Structure formats: C-alpha cells, structure tokens
A and B are shown apart, each in its own frame.
Chain A
C-alpha cells in the first residue's frame, strides 16, 4: 500500500482543502481513492497519489490533457493539485463520482443482453474518440474501468490514472501499461505510439466477454495477437452485425480495426 497506515479522513481533509472526505473506496500500490463531497456539494472521487518514481509526472501530464476533455461518457475532472501528506509530496485528482456498479461487477451476475452491450460499446467508443481527439490513449479499457450508472449512463473511468493505482497493472521498461488479458498486441509488445485502435481492441475484449460471458482468449494475454478468437456467435446468440463488429475490434493488426469509434458506432445496430 502506498500509505501505511491508510490515510485518515482528517489527513485527507487537511491535505486537500474545500472538500469533505466521506469514505475510502480503495487502496492501491501507488495511492488511494476516497468518496468525497466537493465544495459545491456534489459527490466526487478523490484520488491521492503517493510520491513514487515518476508517477506524479505522469499523473500531472495526463491530468493536464484531461482538463480539455469534454465527453458525456467520461467523468469530469473537477480539480487537481499537489499537496503534502506525512511530509511527502503527493498529487491528487478530484473527478465526478458515478453511482453504480462497474462492468466487472455486473458481469459477475451473468452476461449482458445484446442491446446493453451495444450501448456500452457506443458510449465507450465515443469516449475513446474524444480522448483520441486530444491524442490520449486510455491503455486500460477493461470491465473494472467501465461504470454503468444507476440512471443508465455508461462511463469510462480512470483515464490513464487507474493504471497507477491498480495492483494488477503491468509496468515493464516504463512503457507497458495495462491489464493482462485486455491489452492489444501492440500494447503488450511495448510498441510506442499507440493509437485509439489499441483501446478499441480492449473494448472488443470487453464486448466479447460481456455478450458471451467468456473471455475471447481465455484470459490469456499470451494468446492475444497470436490466435484468432473463437466466433462469438458460437458462444451466444448475438446478432451477426454485433458479432462481426466485435471481431472487427479484435483484429490483430491495428489497421484492420476501425480507425475511429465513430466507425464502430456506424457498424453497430441503432
């Protein structure tokens, strides 16, 4: 854990002024996340990153880009800044808080209906396009990072920040960031210069898993890019249109995938 013992409510409120810390939502290797109430009274997610390697620089760089991001499927960045906790320099971010389960939790109860998967794909594709317009690649699109709000909204969270918190995140040579089983072939290979097509590949895995209840590569990252996934229609009763769209996302060569989220949306039904 980044903070041992875990930060207390008082420490959080003292370090980040103008908010009320409500409860801890999680601890990770590089920081912690709290549910908070922002100064305007809205619920917010506060993430505090401990000083570690170059995590802070990465967070600051990405947060800077996030400030310009406007998309209905991406939580808004409310505030961010530097602070001192227990004598150490830290960085924090304050984003909107989405009340609802993430896709991983939803899938624990079984696969989703096709129409629901289509909606998830549409919304996340929009988010991927919005990020790419700023040349941001999420690099960690996975069920845990997709939140389905109680009002039906779909959100992509932890844009390039979750990777700093998640214990299952890989960090090789300072370049490979992502979660095993959800990384595109080029991401796993550590290729620099990833594009939105890498996120679209990950979305393909999420969609396949959501509609069929099973991972297209059995959860094995080493098979990704080396073998073709089984036809999703052999595993569930999904329509041909949705099935072909999912397999389009899962092409091993980046240029064989859609060149934009909009292209995917156009291929999906309604």
Chain B
C-alpha cells in the first residue's frame, strides 16, 4: 500500500504500546494532548509496519480550561507552538514526571495561551510545529490551526495559520495537510454547502494548490454520545469529504468522528482516525477533565449494528435470543475467541481478555482497531461509486439490525441503542441526494 492510500489510523493515547502490530492498523496518529514533548521525542512507536505516521499539534485545543484539565494543558504547553513559557526538560536533573509537575504548577496564569494574530507571530509557531513533525518522521505534515467555533466565522484566523504553514513548509517533501478544526456548533444549522463555514472552507482550501489534503477535526460540544449525533453535523463531514476529496481531489483525513469515519470514506475521504477510548474517538473538551473513579468496561464494537455491546451483559443475551448472526461480519482475530465461546454456549467471563471487568479493555481495543481497519481497507479497494453504495447499505442494514435488537431488549436495554445509526443513515441519505448519488 502506498503511503497516500492509508485509510484507517489509530489515535494514540499516552500509552503508545496500546497499539501494537496485532492491532493491524494502517497508520497511527500521535496527539500532542496525549503526551508531553520530552516523552514524545524519546518514545518509540510500537504499531509495527504502518504506512502512515502523523503527529497532530492540536493548536485547536488552546481553549482547553486549565482549572479542570491541568495535566493536558501542561502536556500541550511543552510544545513550542503553544506560546507559553515553560521550563526546559533537563534529563540529568529531574524525572519527566517532576518536570511536568513543575510545568503544571508554573503555567496556570499563562493558560489559555494568547494565539498570535499576525503573520509573523503565527509563522514562528507554525514553523516549530512543522520542524517537530519532520524530526518525528511523519509521513504527512499537519499544519496546525485554531478551532473555528463561531458560526459566522470568515475563517480568517484559521487561514492565517494555514498560509503561515504553507510558507514554512516550502521545503518539506512529505504531503501537507491543513487542519480544519470546526466545532459542531458551527454546523448544526446546515450541513450542506449552503453553510458559509463549509463553502468558505471548501473554496479557500481547494484554492491552495500546495496542499495535499485537509485534516478535518470535529469538536463535539456535547458529550451525550461517543461520536457525532446531529444530522447536520454528520452531513457536514460528508459534504467536506465529498467536495474536497472527490471533486477537488484532495486527501481528506477525518478525525474524531468515531465509526462515522467509515461513512466519510464512502463520501470521498481517504483516511480517518479513531480509537477505543473516548479521548481517542471524539474531541470533547470535558473528556479531559481530571476525574477519579473506576475504569471502563470492555465493549465489543459491531459494525453490523454500528453499536457497542458489553461482552457478557449484552452479547450473552443476544446469543440466547439466537441473534449472534447479526454480528457475524464483526469477527476479528481479537474478537473471534469471544464469538466462538458465546456460540458454544460459554460465558464471556471465561474468555481471556473479554471478562467484563473494569479496565480489561486490551482485547476490546484490539478488536475495535482490527474491525475498523478491515472495513476501511475493504472500502478503499472499491471504486468511488461502489464505495458510496456499500456504505449506504452498511448504514441501512445497521439501522435495521440495531433497531431490531433495541426492540427485542427494550425492557432491559443493551449498553447502546441504535438511535445514532438512524441519524447517520439519514445524514448519508441527505448527502447522496444532494449530489445525485442515490
């Protein structure tokens, strides 16, 4: 596979080892919010032979509130493209943990950072982000940009960063992606090209021939679901994927849309990234609030139903109703032992790695990544028209099957209902209709 063709990338959290070669992903995407700079430059990726490595500078996270999320703010502040004065890390004098503690205690007054509004000020920051990525060995450089959060924005601030990035990357040989980080509040009204945010973005970004592509980041203002749940917001991602990807032939890379990233591939995006944990799957700033409490239970993702189910509580009941066939296409190396055990009448608790206990998520994570990788690869091998059709079919089938499961278990609902699937299907239908692709 050529680098340009990579389709699914795993978003890496703090523990890069969570995504190993057996995750079978095409690429990995490291995030500045997940790891401080001193650690990032010393740590090795462990994902094996991946065709894409990206590092997201995440300037769009500059608005993260320090009071609730000081650790994440401190990690971000260690990178030179955030205009915050922090102490340098001296490996001989302190541990990284102590250093980060020092950074955290000293930077509070400086956060949120005041992002520059001049070409000169922006250029210096962008240059540092590009240099870092080049040293890191990325296959695609991501030009950073701040979050677009005003529905009537003219995108001037974000474009200032893009143009500074283009100026700073003139000698860069790897493909260049411009960040388009948009809050869903800008997309709620209209997900079609009639939305000025979308029409300006499409017109402006496609008029910069130096760009290889656009890195689309969706910020979720509300956290009721682990992915986009509003019809117009979903449609917006499809509009961007289609117009920029299919019509303007740019590499569209969608991040933080969870499994809806597959629908974006159907619309014309070339790549998407997601991950098992919420912070890797969606961009919802309250997810970064430091909390105590227990860890997550393992969840089995089904692309057949586009839902996640608990391995014991849900899947055993589904098995008992002889409905495991609805998940037959969700078989992966990591998930097969669970499905086989259930089929044989055994409990999920007897399957190594799938016991329904807190923090026991390694197999569930592997399954998630393997399943999305396989689905994305399958789509990538198709012609555009077939891809669009197959995704529509996937959404229709998932809506039907998840709704059926919901109806069966309405007295004692499953972990996740398929309500969102109907929204995704409807958004996709809107999209197909607006481009005469139905």
State which residues 186-238 of A face B: CB under 8 Å.
186, 191-197
B243 lies within 8 A of chain A by Cβ: yes
A145 lies within 8 A of chain B by Cβ: no
B203 A197 Cβ-Cβ under 8 A: yes
Contact of B247 (CB < 8 Å), options: A186, A194, A195, A255: A255
Distance in Å: Cβ of A115 to nearest Cβ of chain B = 28
Per the bound structure, the CA–CA distance linking A108 and B113 in Å amounts to: 59
B207 A259 Cβ-Cβ under 8 A: yes
Distance in Å: Cβ of B231 to nearest Cβ of chain A = 23
B11 lies within 8 A of chain A by Cβ: no
Per the bound structure, the CA–CA distance linking A256 and B193 in Å amounts to: 13
B154 A196 Cβ-Cβ under 8 A: no
B249 nearest in chain A by CB position: A259
B204 lies within 8 A of chain A by Cβ: yes
Residues of B near A255 (CB, < 8 A) are 202-203, 206, 243, 247-248
Contact of A195 (CB < 8 Å), options: B154, B163, B203: B203
Residues of A near B206 (CB, < 8 A) are 255, 259
B207 A197 Cβ-Cβ under 8 A: yes
B156 lies within 8 A of chain A by Cβ: yes
A254 B199 Cβ-Cβ under 8 A: yes
Distance in Å: Cβ of B178 to nearest Cβ of chain A = 14
B155 lies within 8 A of chain A by Cβ: yes
Chain A: interface residue total (CB-CB under 8 A):
16
A135 B209 Cβ-Cβ under 8 A: no
Distance in Å: Cβ of A187 to nearest Cβ of chain B = 11
B159 lies within 8 A of chain A by Cβ: yes
Give the interface of A toward B (CB within 8 A): 132, 135, 186, 191-197, 253-256, 259-260
B196 lies within 8 A of chain A by Cβ: yes
B248 A193 Cβ-Cβ under 8 A: no
Instruction: Say whether, besides A196-B207, A255-B206, A186 and B248 are in contact (CB < 8 Å).
Output: no
B37 lies within 8 A of chain A by Cβ: no
With A193-B156, A255-B203, A259-B248 already in contact, 4 other A-B pairs whose C-beta atoms are closer than 8 Å: A186-B203, A192-B154, A192-B200, A196-B207
B207 A195 Cβ-Cβ under 8 A: yes
B203 A260 Cβ-Cβ under 8 A: no
B203 A132 Cβ-Cβ under 8 A: no
B159 nearest in chain A by CB position: A193
A253 B196 Cβ-Cβ under 8 A: no
Contact of A132 (CB < 8 Å), options: B155, B207, B247: B207
A254 nearest in chain B by CB position: B203
Per the bound structure, the CA–CA distance linking A253 and B203 in Å amounts to: 9
Chain B: interface residue total (CB-CB under 8 A):
18
A195 B248 Cβ-Cβ under 8 A: no
A190 nearest in chain B by CB position: B196
Residues of A near B203 (CB, < 8 A) are 186, 193-195, 197, 254-255
A193 nearest in chain B by CB position: B200
Chain A CB count within 10 A is highest, among B193, B199, B243, B247, for B199
A198 nearest in chain B by CB position: B203
Instruction: Say whether, besides A193-B203, A193-B204, A195-B203, A259 and B155 are in contact (CB < 8 Å).
Output: no
Per the bound structure, the CA–CA distance linking A132 and B208 in Å amounts to: 9
Distance in Å: Cβ of B63 to nearest Cβ of chain A = 22
Residues of B near A260 (CB, < 8 A) are 207, 209
B196 A192 Cβ-Cβ under 8 A: yes
Per the bound structure, the CA–CA distance linking A255 and B207 in Å amounts to: 9
Per the bound structure, the CA–CA distance linking A255 and B209 in Å amounts to: 13
Chain A CB count within 10 A is highest, among B163, B193, B196, B243, for B196
Per the bound structure, the CA–CA distance linking A195 and B200 in Å amounts to: 9
Residues of A near B154 (CB, < 8 A) are 192-193
Contact of B209 (CB < 8 Å), options: A191, A193, A259: A259
A196 nearest in chain B by CB position: B207
Residues of A near B209 (CB, < 8 A) are 259-260
Q: Can you list 20 A-B contacts with CB-CB less than 8 angstroms, sorted by A residue number?
A: A132-B207, A135-B159, A186-B203, A192-B156, A192-B200, A193-B154, A193-B156, A193-B200, A193-B203, A196-B207, A197-B203, A197-B207, A255-B202, A255-B243, A255-B247, A259-B206, A259-B207, A259-B248, A260-B207, A260-B209
Residues of B near A254 (CB, < 8 A) are 199, 202-203
Per the bound structure, the CA–CA distance linking A132 and B209 in Å amounts to: 11
Per the bound structure, the CA–CA distance linking A132 and B196 in Å amounts to: 20
Chain A CB count within 10 A is highest, among B200, B243, B248, for B200
Contact of A191 (CB < 8 Å), options: B159, B200, B243: B200
Per the bound structure, the CA–CA distance linking A186 and B199 in Å amounts to: 9
Residues of B near A259 (CB, < 8 A) are 206-207, 209, 248
Distance in Å: Cβ of B249 to nearest Cβ of chain A = 10
B207 A191 Cβ-Cβ under 8 A: no
B193 nearest in chain A by CB position: A253
A262 nearest in chain B by CB position: B209
Distance in Å: Cβ of A261 to nearest Cβ of chain B = 11
Residues of A near B248 (CB, < 8 A) are 255, 259
Per the bound structure, the CA–CA distance linking A135 and B247 in Å amounts to: 23
B248 nearest in chain A by CB position: A255
Per the bound structure, the CA–CA distance linking A97 and B433 in Å amounts to: 53
Per the bound structure, the CA–CA distance linking A194 and B199 in Å amounts to: 10
B247 nearest in chain A by CB position: A255
Per the bound structure, the CA–CA distance linking A186 and B248 in Å amounts to: 18
State which residues 272-289 of B face A: CB under 8 Å.
none
Per the bound structure, the CA–CA distance linking A48 and B202 in Å amounts to: 38
Per the bound structure, the CA–CA distance linking A178 and B10 in Å amounts to: 48
